[in-house]
Amino acid sequence: MLHSSTHDLIYQALTNYGLDFHSFEIEPVSLTTYGKHGDLHYKILVDERPYSIRLLPKKRYVNSDLSQSTPDLLTKQLRYTDYLRANGIPFMKCVKPTDEALFTTIMDSIGQEWTCCLFHWIDGHHVTANTEQTAARMGQLARQLHDVSLHEQEIQFPFIDHTVTYQRWLGDLQRLSASRMPEPVQNSFQEYLTLAQQHLDTARLPKSSSLQPVISTDLNSLNVLWDSDQHIVGIVDHEHIGATDRVQDLAWLIKWYARTEGIDSHDVSGRLAKSLLTHYNSPTLLVPKEDPRLASLLWLSGCMNLHFVERTKQLAFDAENNPVGYDQFQLHLQTYRLRGERLVGLLT
Q: How far apart, in whole angstroms, are the C-alpha atoms of residue 114 and residue 84? A: 26
Residues 6+ apart with CB under 8 A from 92: 52, 81, 119, 120, 121, 122, 234, 235, 236, 238
Confidence check: pLDDT of 33 > 50: no
Q: What residue ranges do the domains of the chain occupy?
A: 4-120, 132-345
Strand segments, DSSP code E, in 239-338 are 242-244
Q: Do the Cβ atoms of 105 and 113 come closer than 8 Å?
A: yes
Length of the chain: 348
Query: What's at 84, amino acid-wise?
Result: L
User: Residue 1 has what pLDDT?
Assistant: 38
User: Residue 78 has what pLDDT?
Assistant: 95
Q: How far apart, in whole angstroms, are the C-alpha atoms of residue 277 and residue 249? A: 12
Query: Could you give the angle at which helices 183-203 and 325-345 cross, rounded to 10 degrees?
Result: 30
Query: Could you give the angle at which helices 162-174 and 306-321 cross, rounded to 10 degrees?
Result: 10
Secondary structure class of 106 (helix, strand, coil)? strand
User: Residue 98 has what pLDDT?
Assistant: 84
**What's the CATH code, domain 132-345?**
3.90.1200.10
pLDDT tens digit string along 323-338? 889 999 999 999 999 9
Q: Do the Cβ atoms of 271 and 348 come closer than 8 Å?
A: no
User: Residue 101 has what pLDDT?
Assistant: 87
* pLDDT band (50, 70, 90) for residue 52: very high
Q: Say which range, 57-61, 197-201, 230-234, has the weakest mean pLDDT.
A: 57-61
User: Residue 9 has what pLDDT?
Assistant: 87
CA distances from 265 to 79, 268, 297, 331, 348 (A): 35, 8, 19, 16, 21
**Cα–chain center distance at 279:** 21
Q: Do the Cβ atoms of 213 and 244 come closer than 8 Å?
A: yes
Secondary structure class of 229 (helix, strand, coil)? coil
Architecture of domain 4-120: 2-Layer Sandwich (3.30)
* pLDDT band (50, 70, 90) for residue 2: very low
pTM recorded for the entire structure: 0.90
**Cα–chain center distance at 22:** 36
pLDDT tens digit string along 90-139? 999 999 998 778 999 988 888 888 899 999 999 999 999 999 999 999 99
Query: What's at 181, amino acid-wise?
Result: M
Confidence check: pLDDT of 67 > 80: no
Helix residue ranges, H only, 265-324: 270-281, 292-303, 306-321
User: Residue 34 has what pLDDT?
Assistant: 44
